[in-house]
Amino acid sequence: MRHLKILEYALSSLLRRKYRNISLIAVYALTIAILASVLFLTYSLKLEASRLLIEAPEIVVQRISAGRHDLIPSGYAEHFRGIQGVAGAEPRYWGYYYDSLTRSNFTLMGIDDNLLPLAMVEGRMPSASGECAIGAGVGHARISAVGDMLPLIDSRGGVVLFNVVGIFRSESNILTNDLIVMGKKDLVRFFDLPAGRATDIAVTVRNPSEITTVAGKIRKSYPDTRPITKSEIIRTYDAVFNWRSGMMLTIFSSALLAFCILAWDKATGISAEEKHEIGILKAIGWDTADILELKFWEGIVISLTSFLLGLIAAFIHVFLLNATILSPVIKGWSVLFPDFRLTPYVDIYQIFVLAFLTVTPYVASTIIPSWKTAITDPENVMRS
């Protein structure tokens, strides 16, 4: 009961300075909301990438010529199949296409004609020459749907008409937004690739623990190649959405800096009015412990309310409003950018870390200056 009475007094004390405290809660909650939004967004993208790209080829082998990525002889695939532990090696045909009409970049990909139907495709995958399946972003940019013709300009400058037979569902936008998938032969003809050359080779390895060994063997046998393993692909996204990466670090450091200024302002001193109040409380019989408890409750009321409000705002912003405020920052100059449809993966550990980094310093910065005042003689405090 005693604690509740002190809490009641703390609330009355906060309400006496209600405009100051409401604005403090607003700023504090905004800081938490920004930090939590970044954490939710990056964690969700990172987990989505690792859960999807687990199906990526075990090794992608590129050819390096004069320090740059070059087309690889598709005959290398036959040699790779002979390496012990390799289950298969398939050349991949793909490339980029700048669309001057929409000023956007598309990714063109050549596939085998006998590909099985895919659940994420409305319509069907291309099975004959002159057919293509497009990502929702391409369809939106070129105002194309299933059954329409898609004109593209090939490497010789001629217009090639593709019949759109399938469109990837918007749920798969994070993978397919800018894709135009067509038959391998169509793609080779479109880009005028030299005969017997592919963009790179996807190698399948039977035993996952042998991937690094196989990659090493490929590198040793073909010094002009650069094998990229699946773990490196996944690690790339881990690094992109890591807290240490550029944008995250910038947002984190500026928000934390703002918060530190707030906490520092509180910690470096309390107002004369507050000192006077502490002096009176001491004079009428309050213990130092009671005053510390009062200040503890004041800190908890402000920081807990702000923390919970900030978390709720961040969750709604990222997972219900699809990160509308943060996505333009991530979008950069991309003309085609998928609408975020983020899966609400939440790491409870991150929430605890955020709570520890924000609530604890605030409560500490409320208590410490009050403790200094509370241990001073009440008469001196009131006279000062």
- Least distance from other proteins to the Cβ atom of residue 150, Å: 17
DSSP 325-349: TTHHHHHTT-SS-PPP-------HH
Q: Does residue 56 belong to the site contacting other proteins (CB under 8 A)?
A: yes
Instruction: Classify residue 118 by burial, with Cβ atoms within 10 Å: 0-12, 13-18, 19+.
Output: middle
Residue 252 lies near other proteins (rule: CB under 8 A): no
Which of 134, 336, 359, 363 touches other proteins (CB under 8 A)? 336
Least distance CB 262 / other proteins (angstroms): 21
Interface residue with other proteins among 2, 19, 119, 161 (CB under 8 A) is 119
Q: Which of 240, 258, 262, 364 binds other proteins (CB under 8 A)?
A: 240
| Nearest residue (CB) to other proteins, 310 versus 369 | 310
Considering only residues 295 through 314, tell me which ones interact with other proteins, judged by CB under 8 A: 301, 304-305, 308-309, 311-312
Site for other proteins in 344-363 (CB under 8 A): 344-346
Q: Is residue 20 close enough to count as binding other proteins by CB under 8 A?
A: no
Half-sphere exposure of 366 (CA within 13 A, CB side): 20
Q: What is the DSSP letter of 1?
A: -
The contact mask relative to other proteins for 23-42 (x = CB under 8 A, - = no) is --------------------
Q: Which is nearer to other proteins, 62 or 74 (CB)?
A: 62
Which among 340, 327, 336 has a CA at the least distance from the CA of 98? 336
CA distances, 73 to each of 61, 86, 185, 197, 203 (Å): 11, 18, 16, 4, 14
In which element (H, E) is residue 132 found?
strand 131-134
Alpha helices in 145-229 (DSSP H): 173-176, 184-191, 211-221
> How many residues belong to the site for other proteins (CB under 8 A)?
96
Residue 124 C-beta: closest distance to other proteins, Å: 13
Give me the least distance between CB of 255 and other proteins, in Å please. 17
Rounded to whole angstroms, the Cα distance separating 274 from 263 reads 17
What is the Cα–Cα distance from 384 to 379, expressed in whole angstroms? 9
Q: Under rule CB under 8 A, which residues in 57-96 are in contact with other proteins?
A: 57, 60, 62, 64, 67-69, 90, 92, 96
**Residue of the chain from 2, 156, 244, 383 that contacts other proteins (CB under 8 A):** 244
Q: Binding of other proteins at residue 179 (CB under 8 A)? A: yes
Q: Coil, strand, or helix at residue 153?
A: strand
Q: Which stretch binds other proteins (CB under 8 A): 4-12, 144-152, 280-288, 365-373?
A: 4-12
Q: Looking at beta carbons only, is 324 or 384 nearer to other proteins? A: 324
Phi first, then psi: give them for residue 143, nearest 5 degrees.
Answer: 45, 55
